[in-house]
Amino acid sequence: MWVHHDGFQQVVKQAWSSEAADHPMFNILLKMKAVKSALRTWNKDVFGNIFTKIKEDKAKLADLELKMSSGPVLDTVDENHLNLHQAEKEELKNLYLLEEIFWKQKSTVHWLVEGDRNTRLFHSVATEKQRRMSIRFIDLLDDCRLHDLPDFKVATVDHFSDLFVTGNTLLSPDLLHVIPSIISQEHNNRLLQSPSLREVQQAVMVIPSNEASGPDGFSSSFFKACRDTIGADLHRATEFIFQGGSFPRAVTATLIYLIPKHAAPKAFSDFPPIGLCNRLYKIIANVISPRLSLVLPELVSP
């Protein structure tokens, strides 16, 4: 939603240039942190609450139209009033677009485009989604039923922590000798080749703009809209990984999101989990994915 505002790019450019580090990964993380802080301040001071602004602009427009209609005949209406009236209408139109985008993001409806005043539909879908995904109680395996949010939190963490913990798996070094070497040197060189700036940009553009963000809060819309500002640093960070660098934990952090199977979930088995990774991690994965697709037919039997 922010990317549609005129002042957004300037805020990002200023914040992005204010921080720097020698380490490519820490550099981009530091810059993203600075941008997040700047956007929070900008959202509060400049962007504001769009719903309040719509009410204020509608009141201003109504007041202005009242003054114009109660004044002289239309031919002699002050040109300043006409210009002000047109400016207020344009501002209200932009606010309506932002409101529509807001509710579209909440509703995650992908098959309608912005700008067609689908606000009511997006609002109703978002409201229904919130109602459908509400958890009223959880039944545990020991026939205990939980109703309180603090109990929900503890039980959820315990359940999925146990689910995602793996035991100690020992692999004998002798077994590696029976695994044939299938990847050719040519394929290996292609997999390890340092990515171009264009490859990284393509990896950004294939991510859906309205896809849910990861723990860092940055959506793919941010990376797409600000690619001219952040492109060089993003490319350096991606090159660093291909040169053997490791991911900081801040990049590999993942949100576990629970998706209810039906409208009345009541047990943890009704919530198949999905992982929401940070966009930086997903962009680098998208650089690797097309390369792997070239060698997978050699590795996987038909």
Amino acid identity of residue 302, one-letter, is: P
Q: Which domain holds residue 101?
A: 49-132
Q: How far apart are CA 28 and CA 34, in angstroms?
A: 10
Please tell me the predicted confidence (pLDDT) of residue 196.
Answer: 95
Please tell me the predicted confidence (pLDDT) of residue 115.
Answer: 45
Write out the H or E segment, with its range, that includes residue 138. Answer: strand 138-139
User: Domain check: are 24 and 92 in the same one?
Assistant: no
User: Domain check: are 30 and 54 in the same one?
Assistant: no
Please tell me the predicted confidence (pLDDT) of residue 91.
Answer: 73
Q: Which residue has the tokens 């315990």?
A: 158
Per the CB < 8 A criterion, the answer to whether 129 and 145 are in contact is: no
Residue 108 in any domain: the answer is: yes
Backbone angles phi, psi at 139, to 5 degrees: -95, 125
Using DSSP's 3-state secondary structure scheme, residue 117 falls into: coil
User: Domain check: are 40 and 66 in the same one?
Assistant: no
Residue 179 in any domain: the answer is: no
Using DSSP's 3-state secondary structure scheme, residue 49 falls into: coil
Residue 159 in any domain: the answer is: no
SS3 percent helix, strand, coil of the chain, rounded to 5, is 65, 5, 30
- CA neighbor of 236 nearest in space, from 15, 31, 2: 31
Residue 170 in any domain: the answer is: no
**Count of structural domains, the chain:** 2
User: Domain check: are 206 and 237 in the same one?
Assistant: yes
Amino acid identity of residue 45, one-letter, is: D
User: Domain check: are 199 and 225 in the same one?
Assistant: yes
User: Domain check: are 31 and 62 in the same one?
Assistant: no
pLDDT along the chain (302 residues), means of 10: 76 91 93 92 73 75 70 56 72 68 54 48 59 69 76 82 72 75 86 94 90 86 92 96 93 85 77 88 94 86 68
Write out the H or E segment, with its range, that includes residue 30. Answer: helix 24-42
Length of the chain: 302
Q: How far apart are CA 74 and CA 178, in angstroms?
A: 90
Residue 101 in any domain: the answer is: yes
